[in-house]
Amino acid sequence: MGARSQRVPERMCVACRRLRPRTELARLVRPTQATEIDLNLGGQASGKGFYICRSVECLTKLEKDKRLRKNFSAKLTAPALQWLTAERQRLEEEETQRTPASCSEEVKDL
């Protein structure tokens, strides 16, 4: 879609360590001097930021894996954790709904 080839910078997901376009990742940040990681979905809050895929797999990993969080020597704030859980659930639902309801849909692009 669109002829513009605008480059999206790539960032590494902390859970799967894959590089992805920044737009596909959620940003979390540990503000300077804070001990808790907060969500920073839109902006450029200062502090140590990191990125996570908006995928069930990676969100679950961050949600459950305490060792992963230890890497940032911080823990997630309650809202950040809530967001993680909510976002994971939303994605899970999306995936369930995506199960083909009809066989008439053709694959247009290979």
Q: Which is nearer to Zn ion, 34 or 65 (CB)?
A: 65
* Contact status: 58 vs Zn ion (CB under 5 A): yes
* Contact status: 84 vs Zn ion (CB under 5 A): no
Q: How many residues bind Zn ion (CB under 5 A)?
A: 5
Q: Terminal CA-to-CA distance of the chain, rounded, Å?
A: 16
Per DSSP (E only), the strands in the chain are 10-12, 19-21, 25-30, 36-39, 48-53, 75-76
How many helices and strands, by DSSP H and E, does the chain display? 3, 6
Residues numbered 17-56 forming contacts with Zn ion, rule: CB under 5 A: 53
Cross-strand pairs, 27: 51
* Contact status: 16 vs Zn ion (CB under 5 A): yes
Q: Which stretch binds Zn ion (CB under 5 A): 40-48, 58-66, 71-79, 81-89?
A: 58-66
Binding site for Zn ion (CB under 5 A): 13, 15-16, 53, 58
